[in-house]
Amino acid sequence: MTVELARDVEAFLKEQVRTGACADASQLVNDVMRSVREQREKPFRITSELEAWLLESADQAVTPLTRADFEGIRRRAGERKRSKIS
């Protein structure tokens, strides 16, 4: 099978292989496609705990996100990404 990738996606794929995030492009594409399939096969489960959390959250005051909030999100995402690669 031949798949044509957008330039930015191809560049990202090559970078992932170059940095060792995956052994080769085929492995990464297969992993991504399996992940997509798994997400479609496992619909989001609504549990009583989730409902309680959502109801509790809905009653709390809303504040705008700040630059520090976004920096914290980026930091935690980067840490999570690095821990998965290791």
| Each residue's pLDDT tens digit, 14-65 | 999 999 988 899 999 999 999 999 888 887 788 899 999 889 888 888 888 8
pLDDT for the residue 42: 80
Identify whether the C-beta of residue 25 lies closer than 8 Å to the C-beta of residue 12.
no
Three-state secondary-structure class, residue 17: helix
- Do the beta carbons of residue 47 and residue 36 sit within 8 Å? no
Nearest to 85 by CA among 31, 9, 11: 31
The per-residue pLDDT for 86 is 65
The confidence band for 1, taking pLDDT boundaries of 50, 70 and 90, is confident
pLDDT at 12: 93
The confidence score (pLDDT) of residue 72 equals 92
